[in-house]
A and B are shown apart, each in its own frame.
Chain A
Amino acid sequence: MDAFNNKRAADALVWLALLTAPYWLPLIGGYTELGTHVVILGLAAMALNFLLGFTGVLSFGHAAYFGLGAYGAAMTIKYLEPSTPLAILVGVVTGTVAAAVIGPMIARLRGVYFAMCTIAFGQVFYFIAFQWSSVTGGDDGVSAWHRMPIDLGFTSIDIFNDNKAFYYVALAIFAVAAGVMAWLLRSPFGRTLLAIRENERRARFLGIPVDRHIWLSWVISCLFVSLAGALYALLNDFVDPRALRWDMSGTFVIMTVLGGMRNFWGPLIGAAIFIVLQDQLSSHTQNWESFIGLFFVLVVLFFPRGVLGLIKRKSAS
């Protein structure tokens, strides 16, 4: 029962920290947008971890669907209809449909072959965004638009001018996404994914059609990463091809491994560490990435299960 209570306590602590972030962040030298950044990229890393940590499949191309979500949202507001909810919806649908179509081509691959193919497909979208300037703005990206206040009928949430309001909208969406992922992982379907992670051969010979379940896990993972991408575009009021380049995919993997991929909250913690380091280091040096790289190497060497991996699962006795 101790493990169960500890888990409850950890959940409560995470939610408490997230709910009060705009109020305590300034006290330690932070600011609200930093918190929004962590929540959004944390969601992307948690979405990646649905596939990596809980299905055992490494994707190095999640930025493609993150970027499609971002472009979908940005272009909806700029060209289609200045509505934030519609922008998010279009972003999510774009990213998810692309993932669903590409999925069957890669779901049969394993290990490094799967990772390489996800990079390859990811780069295809990067080059399309980069080259097709007349539509995507090319290297300059999609700018000269901004997120729109959310109209609820009786009132309107001004997420454009009020940073706290945007933080809480992003957090509410994060909460729903995290809740759905946690719930799926505790379901019979979620347990088949753990089974595949633990031992693919055993899973197959229990009667689980492994490729199909990996495809489903991939689509769910990409759905939430494109949701994060849509929010990311709204956060910056801007999107450019870097959002779907392979090094963005690498960032998600680094965040996940930093925080701990066997832990549900690991990727969020990893994203927080990454973004705070980036925020602090980049004001001192242009080479901030090499310092993050060094930190990453140290974590992988000494805490191979990530920061939260220190809390290792033990038998209840």
Chain B
Amino acid sequence: MSLLRVENVSKHFGSLVAVNGVSMAVEPGELRAVIGPNGAGKTTFFNMISGFLTPSSGKILFDDEDITNLLPARRVWRGIARTFQITEVFPELTVRENLRIAVEVASGYRLRAWLSSSADDEVKARVVDVLEMGGLAEKADRLVGELAHGDQRATEIMMSVALNPRLLLLDEPTAGMGDQETYNITQLIRKLHKDKKLSIVLIEHDMRVVFHLADRIMVLAEGAMLAEGTPKEIAANESVQAAYLGKAA
């Protein structure tokens, strides 16, 4: 059974067709990369999975249940977490506070006016776990808004991980990063995928990252699916080379 099944999804903005009849199935534990030239509809496609946009037509199934028109918060409750192309964090709070909010919401405490000391200890321990997993322990008490771009991005990713998602959606996780930061984030994603067995779908422009991480790759061009397969198959695909890789190289 696929974890996520997108069936023939389209999105129109007026007369513009951003995504045109795209289907995709993601298996549990899989890391899927979505690539394509600018304007290919990758982010729109992503936004429909996370609930930021609703499709004009088609269906999205998560665990075989229809989530096509579900509100974003409800998708999160079912286990879909995402990051954004432009990092979305809580800048005037510390890294620890950012993660703590995610842990508390994931633990079902969002309406609690108090926590028992054992629940509080559990939350704190979980926050420390996530901090360490993301390599953020030393920066835990810094305000996120004052951190370097790469650390802000790592904070955002770890907030999503703190939700205990069953599917993690990453929208260009290495966008705007230098080589060292790109390497660090790539290692972090690899760790989440290999060690935590997280199912991940990511959009990425950096081909080194894509080919290093992905189990399977889907290529979008002009709103439609151009190709789908393993990294080897995609690298050998001539239409992909013509449409995308050729231009990049």
Q: Mark A200-212, 1 if CB is under 8 A from B, else 0.
A: 0110111111100
A87 to B229, CA, bound (A): 72
Cβ–Cβ contact A315 & B141, under 8 A: yes
Considering only residues 75-92 of chain B, those with a C-beta below 8 Å from chain A are 76-77, 81-82, 84, 88-92
Listed residue (B90, B106, B114) with the most chain A CB atoms within 10 angstroms of its CB: B90
Chain A residue nearest in CB terms to B50: A205
Q: Is the CB of A27 closer than 8 A to any CB of chain B? A: no
A191 to B111, CA, bound (A): 10
Residue total for B at the interface (Cβ-Cβ under 8 A): 38
**Nearest Cβ in chain B — how far from A167, in angstroms?**
30
Q: Mark B205-244, 1 if CB is under 8 A from A, else 0.
A: 0000000000000000000000000000000000000000
Q: Is the CB of A8 closer than 8 A to any CB of chain B? A: no
Q: Is the CB of B60 closer than 8 A to any CB of chain A? A: no
Contacts of B73 in A (CB 8 A): 204-205, 207-210
A210 to B71, CA, bound (A): 11
Contacts of A198 in B (CB 8 A): 89-93
Q: Is the CB of A192 closer than 8 A to any CB of chain B? A: yes
**Nearest Cβ in chain A — how far from B132, in angstroms?**
19
Cβ–Cβ contact A316 & B81, under 8 A: no
Cβ–Cβ contact B146 & A187, under 8 A: no
Q: Mark B180-200, 1 if CB is under 8 A from A, else 0.
A: 000000000000000000000
Q: Is the CB of A194 closer than 8 A to any CB of chain B? A: yes
Cβ–Cβ contact A315 & B146, under 8 A: yes
Q: Of B1-9, B10-18, B30-38, B97-105, which stretch is located at the interface?
A: B97-105
Contacts of B82 in A (CB 8 A): 205
Which of A184, A206, A314 has a CB less than 8 Å from the CB of B163?
Answer: A206
**Nearest Cβ in chain A — how far from B55, in angstroms?**
18
- Main DSSP-derived SS at the A contact region: helix
Q: How large is the interface on A (under 10, 10 to 19, 20 to 34, 35 or more residues)?
A: 20 to 34
Cβ–Cβ contact A201 & B84, under 8 A: yes
A201 to B143, CA, bound (A): 19
A189 to B114, CA, bound (A): 8
Which of A202, A313, A315 has a CB less than 8 Å from the CB of B89?
Answer: A202
Cβ–Cβ contact B141 & A206, under 8 A: no
Listed residue (B50, B76, B115) with the most chain A CB atoms within 10 angstroms of its CB: B76
Q: Is the CB of A79 closer than 8 A to any CB of chain B? A: no
Chain B residue nearest in CB terms to A190: B113
Cβ–Cβ contact B72 & A205, under 8 A: yes
Task: Assess A191 versus B100: contact at CB under 8 Å? Given A183-B113, A207-B163.
Answer: yes
Chain B residue nearest in CB terms to A210: B73
Q: Is the CB of B159 closer than 8 A to any CB of chain A? A: yes
Chain A residue nearest in CB terms to B156: A202
Contacts of A194 in B (CB 8 A): 90, 93, 97, 101
- Other than the given A183-B114, A192-B101, A205-B72, 16 more pairs (CB < 8 A) read A192-B110, A198-B89, A199-B89, A202-B89, A202-B90, A205-B52, A205-B82, A206-B105, A207-B106, A207-B110, A209-B73, A210-B73, A314-B143, A315-B94, A315-B142, A316-B141
A interface, CB within 8 angstroms of B: 183-184, 187-189, 191-192, 194-195, 198-199, 201-202, 204-210, 213, 216, 313-317
Q: Supply 11 A–B pairs (Cβ within 8 Å), ascending by A.
A: A188-B110, A188-B115, A191-B97, A191-B101, A192-B105, A198-B89, A202-B159, A205-B88, A207-B77, A207-B106, A317-B142
